[in-house]
Amino acid sequence: MSSALPRLGAANTQRIASPRSAGVLHLGLGSFHRAHQAVYTAAALRTGDDDWGIVGVASRSRSVVDAMRAQDLLYTVAEISPRGTALRVPGAHTDVFVAAEEPARVAESLADPAIRVVTLTVTENGYSYSPVTGHLDLADAGIVADLSGSHPQTPIGQLARGVQLRAGRSGAPLTILSCDNLSENGAHTERLVREFLSALPGTEGDEALAYLDQAVAFPSSMVDRIVPATTAQLREATAAQQGLWDEVPVPAEPFSMWAIEDRFAAGRPSWEAGGAVFTDEVGRYEQMKVRLLNGTHSLIAYLGALRGASLIAESIEMPNIEESARLILRREFEPFVEAPTGIDLRQYESQLFDRWANSALGHRTAQVGTDGSVKLGQRIPGPALLSLDRGEVPHMIALTVAAYLSCIAPISGFDPGPHARAMIDPAREKLAGIAASARNGVEIASRVISDLKLFGQELAEKPVFVARVGELIDTIVRHGVDAAIGDCTAA
Ligand code: CS2
């Protein structure tokens, strides 16, 4: 029905920006990028710096690229709150393409001197690093292939190959800006690109490594906006509100934050026009966000999924999950977070509860629970170790890990329910194999945390933590998730 409406396009839409040319190459054309950096870039372009348009690269999927091409590169951001939905069309892109279809084009674009900033949103799982060591995973099939071939598929391979080409051509300065939820994401990305170049045979990577030393900056940034996956229902609602058919609208909460280290090698868009903060305190912003928001989000997702909640908003409405979220924040995260100047942590936390409770947004527990084997490694070991060093057991963090393992690697005979089964995880098969042969939760926890070192070497060596996780898995299996929550809230 709605597809009979005119298609969204340049002739029938008010857009925020109309770039003249591109200055940014973006890897990862997913919903998050389109509702976050693209909106800030549109605001920057609007100030008159119109040569900072974005070339957006999707890794494999055609759907967004095809739809954007059919819509003059436009799409709608639907800002959804219980009070209503506001629609905006950023219009920051000058081109989009699929890397897998035009394999040489990523490096070619990166080598184009007009491109001065490369941004990335490829998720925690897109960096091909080992959660155990934090280093590039040289055994990863994608990295092995990218090291030997010239058409890389992994983001790190793409960056490294593009940097090689740029180094050999113009050698023009460049900034590579990670926008993923990794702590110290700038330094992390730089290290992985360098490790890739160093792993190339002979002296093949040397010129690029010298170019990185001289002309490439990797600032860190903290990004924040809750962006669920698009649904058919959102397409219909957007069409009804707008009178135009948009195949790829993006849902987002009204809140948005971007804190960036102001260390750019060749200029940057004035993202502050969209509200971005340039600061020397990105580390504090990252820590605050990755622990308080993301760490607690994981707890809410896994506990909620086990209780049958499809949405984050449904989960946080359950009184014992809300209490768990309050306790993990107060006792296990907040003591180890230094607030950035001007931010009141209690106010930030109270805003988090409002954001999680945004029921109109439709953010799913399965989405937040996806990729836990990589995400939890960013969110949990740091604060868990700090508590343990003080002689305190971080019960709520242990509960998060126990709930995660119960969702992804359920012991035989335990059904974690449909929302847990819908979570995608690169380690699912390996963890399920461990669970299938384990006798109880204590054994699962010990094999995953201590032997496999899924959350790093240091946590692997904390038997008190491992035992607590194991005990909680057994409680979840024998007495249900509410009993495990009760056990931790009373602790
Ligand atoms: C979430 C994040 O999926 C997840 O793990 O915690 O995507 C979260 O919604 C964003 O980081 C918010 O900025």
Q: Note the helical H segments in 224-332.
A: 232-242, 282-287, 296-306, 312-317, 319-327
- What tokens appear for 325 in the block? 């979220």
Q: Say if ligand 1 is within 6 A of residue 224 CB.
A: yes
Quick: pLDDT tens for 178-226: 999 998 999 999 999 999 999 999 999 999 999 999 999 999 999 999 9
- What tokens appear for 482 in the block? 């509410």
- Looking at ligand 1, which residue's alpha carbon is closest to its atom 4? 368
Ligand 1 centroid to residue 50 C-alpha, Å: 30
The mean predicted confidence, pLDDT, of the chain is 96
ipTM more than 0.90? Answer: yes
* Nearest atom, ligand 1, residue 371 CA: 5
Q: Are 291 and 383 in contact (CB under 8 A)?
A: yes
Closest among 16, 20, 27 to 75, alpha carbons compared: 16
- 3-class SS letters over 431-468: HHHHHHCCCCHHHHHHHHHHHCCCCCHHHHCCHHHHHH
* Per-residue pLDDT of the chain in tens (491 residues, 90 and over written 9): 456 899 999 999 999 999 999 999 999 999 999 999 999 999 999 999 999 999 999 999 999 999 999 999 999 999 999 999 999 999 999 999 999 999 899 999 999 999 999 999 999 999 999 988 889 999 999 999 999 987 899 999 999 999 999 999 999 999 999 999 998 999 999 999 999 999 999 999 999 999 999 999 999 999 999 999 999 999 999 999 999 999 999 999 999 999 999 999 999 999 999 999 999 999 999 999 999 999 999 999 999 999 999 999 999 999 999 999 999 999 999 999 999 999 999 999 999 999 999 999 999 999 999 999 999 999 999 999 999 999 999 999 999 999 999 999 999 999 999 999 999 999 999 999 999 999 999 999 999 999 999 999 999 999 999 999 999 999 999 999 999 999 999 98
| Phi, psi (degrees; rounded to nearest 5) at 226 | -80, 120
Radius of gyration of the chain (CA): 23
The one-character DSSP state at 129 is B
The one-character DSSP state at 55 is E
Closest among 401, 472, 416, 411 to 436, alpha carbons compared: 411
Q: Are 220 and 284 in contact (CB under 8 A)?
A: no
Quick: pLDDT tens for 337-386: 999 999 999 999 999 999 999 999 999 999 999 999 999 999 999 999 99
Q: What count of other Cβ atoms lies within 10 Å of the Cβ of residue 264? A: 18
Q: Say if ligand 1 is within 6 A of residue 367 CB.
A: yes
- Looking at ligand 1, which residue's alpha carbon is closest to its atom 3? 368
Tokens 């399965």 belong to which residue? 366
Q: Are 165 and 154 in contact (CB under 8 A)?
A: no
Ligand 1 centroid to residue 297 C-alpha, Å: 7
* Nearest atom, ligand 1, residue 257 CA: 13
Q: What is the pTM of this model?
A: 0.96
Strands 174-178 and 117-120: parallel
Beta bridge mates, 260 = 221, 278
What pLDDT score does 2 carry?
A: 55
* Nearest atom, ligand 1, residue 375 CA: 5
Residue 251 and residue 364: Cα distance in Å, rounded?
Answer: 13
- What tokens appear for 97 in the block? 């393409």
Tokens 């090291």 belong to which residue? 147
| Phi, psi (degrees; rounded to nearest 5) at 253 | -75, 160
Q: Which residue out of 181, 185, 312, 375 has the highest number of ligand 1 atoms within 8 Å of its CB and is therefore the one to mutate?
A: 181
Closest among 355, 327, 273 to 81, alpha carbons compared: 355
Q: Say if ligand 1 is within 6 A of residue 368 CB.
A: yes
- Looking at ligand 1, which residue's alpha carbon is closest to its atom 11? 224
Closest among 166, 276, 172, 274 to 219, alpha carbons compared: 276
Q: Say if ligand 1 is within 6 A of residue 423 CB.
A: no
Residue 296 and residue 219: Cα distance in Å, rounded?
Answer: 26
**Kind plus residue range of the DSSP H or E element containing 93:** strand 93-98
Q: How many helices (H) and strands (E) does the chain have?
A: 24, 12
- What tokens appear for 378 in the block? 């960013």
Cβ partners under 8 Å of residue 63, min gap 6:
248
